[in-house]
Chain A
Amino acid sequence: MPANAETLVRAENLKVHFPIYSGIFRRQVGSVKAVDGLNFEIKRGETLGLVGESGCGKSTAGRAMLRLYELTDGRIDFEGVDIAGLNKGDLRDIRPRMQMIFQDPQACLNPRMTVGDIIAEPLIEHTKMSSKEQREKVKSLLESVGMNPDFVNRYPHEFSGGQRQRIGIARALALEPDFIVCDEPIAALDVSIQAQVVNLLQDIQERMGLTYLFISHDLSMVRHIADRVAVMYLGRIVELAPKEQLYKDPKHPYTKALLSAVPVPDPEVEKTREHIVLQGDVPSPANPPKGCRFSTRCPVAKDKCFVDDPEWRKIGDGGFVACHYAE
């Protein structure tokens, strides 16, 4: 990543709430606050890792960035354009610049279409290529993700998980986007294939100057691919910092607990090192605790944490944290 590069995407107070309807009149009785006030920016050519446990709103945040979900509140600034406020036509024009790579390689390709048709779909929508040009483009895309271009007439069920993921990547690259949201692209793959796909993503990033929002729950993989890492808990980002800083010196108690759960590949160290085991379960996002979101499970919570919501403040060198007592 180039130093002091310009900001490509900025999320301001991003909120996605899903309404809960109940009763015979289907009245709204509350909402699941899946994403509740995210602030972050991603620089051009950078990879921002977004980590957190299941159900903390990572995927929702990623989809909201592409406006696959309507925002409840907030702004998404994409090169000075507020995506959240765009109407359908303008949104469609900007869609080619941001794409998504999905988690489940089984479900992300239409089983009734050939690989060629799947990858060509965005081309049909946004370019005026003849079908022959499309064919050529699809073949070159397949080649660029390391697959045999003669596979264009095959169907998704004839490929392995890793190959399907490559097809999904080729589709995302078809319109030469600037920004790609990777929604746990490696979670459903074997470990050996994970490395291949991650390396492919890095190669492509270098070649095409892409910007990634890399969503994952695999902390070691994020450490490998990301430049900066954001840690989410219950719909909020609790800490965001450059990766060396975050992994070496986590500020937020949740980040500390999360990192202590990553196994160390040395039995001697593993035996002696400290594990922070959090008590209790994640509270319901429909009814988050007062004060700090993490207060109910925080090992170092004090009275203030149960009353006041900690502000999102700068800490260290380029880091941010949402905790009253982090320093």
Chain B
Amino acid sequence: MGAQIPEVRSTDELRERWMKPEVISGSEILLRSLLLEGVDCVFGYPGGAVLYIYDAMYGFEDFKHVLTRHEQGAIHAADGYARASGKVGVCIATSGPGATNLVTGIATAYMDSVPLVVITGNVNSSLIGSDAFQEADITGITMPITKHSYLVKDVKDLAGIIHEAFHIANTGRKGPVLIDIPKDVSANKTLFEPSTEPVILRGYNPRTVPNKLQVDRLAQAIQEAERPMIIAGGGVVYSGGHEALFEFVGKTGIPITTTLLGLGAFPSGHELWTGMPGMHGTYTSNMAIQQSDLLINIGARFDDRVTGKLDGFAPHAKIVHIDIDPAEIGKNIATDIPIVGDVKTVLEIANKEVGRAERADAWRDQIKQWKQEKPYTYTDSDEVLKPQWVVELLNDSTKGEAIVTTDVGQHQMWAAQYYKFNQPRSWVTSGGLGTMGFGFPSAIGAQMANPDRLVISINGDGGMQMCSQELAICAINNIPVKIVIINNQVLGMVRQWQELIYENRYSHIDLAGSPDFVKLAEAYGVKGLRATNKEEAERAWQEALDTPGPVVVEFVVRKDENVYPMVPQGATIDQMLMGDAEE
């Protein structure tokens, strides 16, 4: 194993070579600034407006540039890199169509608070606004989906802007920052003076340390609660607060559900963990939220897929909300105890104050009973492959230790349900935006960030076809991602809704005409395997694990399988359709 990631040179060596004041071009400033920020890998696609930048990259070996086959692949890869590492993901694209091809990826990162620095070229400053060839107002287009953006007017500003962009992307509530560099700015020369001074911005001071009074109120509320419940989200992972969370749960003995983006923030084998909440969450999580008298939200944002019908969500609960972004507190759910701060910092402070929820013994028994009585279930078959069984196979064979990326739809929910994560940054999925085409390229980024870990990308046959061209970069760079395609020959989640809500009117969901995925893999020089029953599945999967490079494994499953439980849209989350488990 081991993708071709660059040898990490010592910082001293780099510093000596690059980090001295020197008159250089904007393009060289960009590259040196990226090194200064600790970047070891960028994903990109050249074009007219970034020719100077790519010219400066010629022979530049201090970070790796991965040439994707579509800008969308580049930004999803940068996103997967960031989610799986905690570092800022970087991608580069040219002006106009290059830049607009990034839009879906930027929105994906924005919705899930993923730190990216997105570099786009633009036409010459003198041509901006003239509808020049390959001109697009990318800062304007992306304004609603970036945390911040810059159009660089003068090469003298470039180094400072890059330094600021990294700071903004990876602090506070993280997110994508776009830097648009006109072609002349990338060519012009100026004195580069490397700076690692802390960035000071008057309008940007994220509050990390919580108000002590609110933390005391939380401790008090825990003392009084009879049915306390924790809902933990992506904020735990992003702040590195998983250990503090583990200690918090240990101290208080409060049951915990983790949202889709929170999976991995808490070990799934723990007796107080109830699985995921929401539309396809566990019976236990949803019932526990609805019956709780104290709901402690730690770094989640009360997304509509979690809350179901807002009016009627956790009707008996006092709400505590811990979030780095004050705007999330009170946005969807009225909050009794607002705690603004970095999740890790808040939990570390809280851990000194909180004690065991003494009055919740009966509640803990109730949770245990629900967990036993109502786990995720499906009807297995020896005739056909069941997608849930496939995910269980992946989980059992890797003991929950792999990094898993997914696309969007049924397979995503089954992966979330049946893969049992034990550590953070092991789960890469597009939660907020629900971006099809994300699953496979994000795995490439995750693997680049973690060359020594097993990375499994779980996709449907629909989403796989939205970015399958990136098989080329797996092949050429020997990026050993295990690419799983759960092929049910339809757009499964749409099919499920059409069955359950649109009275079996299956409108335009048949994916007939899809390629032979084994041959598609082989066309790129990637090993391809197919399984249609359990025996073949076990054999193919083992072969994939034993193969050092990238492998595509197609599991052919039946098309009419549904994801359960399911909370119909508009219902409260205790009104679940239980599917096969329905009595």
Pairing of A with B = no
Binding site for A on B (CB under 8 A): none
